[in-house]
Amino acid sequence: MSGVEAIAAALDEAALVRRPLQQPFTDGDASLDVQTAYDVQRLVVGKRLERGARIVGAKLGLTSAAKQRQMQVDEPLYGWLTSDMVLGSPLVDLGAFIHVRAEPEIGFLIGREIRTPATVAGVLAATDAVFAAIELIDSRYDGFRFRHPDVIADNASSAGLVVGSVARRPKEAGDLRLLGVVLRRNGAVVATAAGAAALGHPAASVAWMVDRLAERDETLEPGSIVLSGGLTDAVPLEPGSVVTAEIEGLGTVEVRA
């Protein structure tokens, strides 16, 4: 088994048995670089597809200062969202995860191909709708402790998503940079942000990913959903937690554990 396959197998097993890996792969071994980590990610996602899931879109991670500070990684990354991650209801079964956290994001429904080099205007022109979402992240590393290549290999901690019920055309949603975001846990405000927290503009996040995908001869299929990156710190979900994300003009999304 090559190193890449061994790493992918370890990450997949950790997710399946819900037992985190004690150490990130970069501890004491600098050989896992970013491009190799995306090769691992492809294998990790492939294992989900072999079990019957479909790709429904992609996600950005570590696009906001809040998230970069919280995770102590100062560069963005992307990962893939699969059909088995989409929660049909706000109820989260904590037993299905290792140590799940929730974070508010602005989502995009991509309607057309996005040309490269991608721009904010190009992304918005290719977008059918924007919506509020809560992403559930569940690192396969103990304590969410990882470096940039480790978390890329782990498909950017992707684990789940709940999509809001309001979908707006980009033109009707207003300036996405200025949309206010309020994150509450059990009714109390725990964080606030604006859309600009994601690389200056949520569509700039999407553009960044489209350009990175092009470097690997990959594209975002029309019909994909894209989560543009957590706008605030992620909050842990514990038994009884109710977390809501309210985004100006896009309604409120809720998860309950």
Q: Which segment (87-95, 118-126, 187-195, 225-233) binds Mg ion by CB under 5 A? A: 225-233
Token pair in block for residue 125: 């022109």
Binding flag, residue 230, ligand OOG (CB under 6 A): yes
32 touches ligand OOG (CB under 6 A): no
Give the contacts of 13 (CB within 8 A, at least 6 positions apart).
none
CB atoms within 10 A of CB 250: 26
Closest to Mg ion by CB, 135 vs 246, is 135
Using the contact rule CB under 5 A, the part of the chain among 72-80, 88-96, 134-142, 182-190 near Mg ion is 134-142
- Closest to 122 measured CA to CA, from 196, 203, 61: 203
Which of these ranges, 43-51, 57-65, 86-94, 248-256, lies near ligand OOG under the rule CB under 6 A? 57-65
Q: Which residue sits closest to ligand OOG, CB atoms considered?
A: 61
Residue 250 touches which member of ligand OOG, Mg ion, none, C-beta under 5-8 Å by kind = none
From Mg ion, ligand OOG, none, interface partner of 173 (C-beta below 5 to 8 A by class): none
Residues 6+ apart with CB under 8 A from 239: 94, 257
Rounded to the nearest 5°, which phi and psi values hold at 43? -70, -40
Least distance between ligand OOG and beta carbon 171 (Å): 25
> Could you say which DSSP state residue 221 is in?
P
The H-or-E segment that residue 218 falls in is none
Contact positions vs Mg ion (CB under 5 A): 135, 230
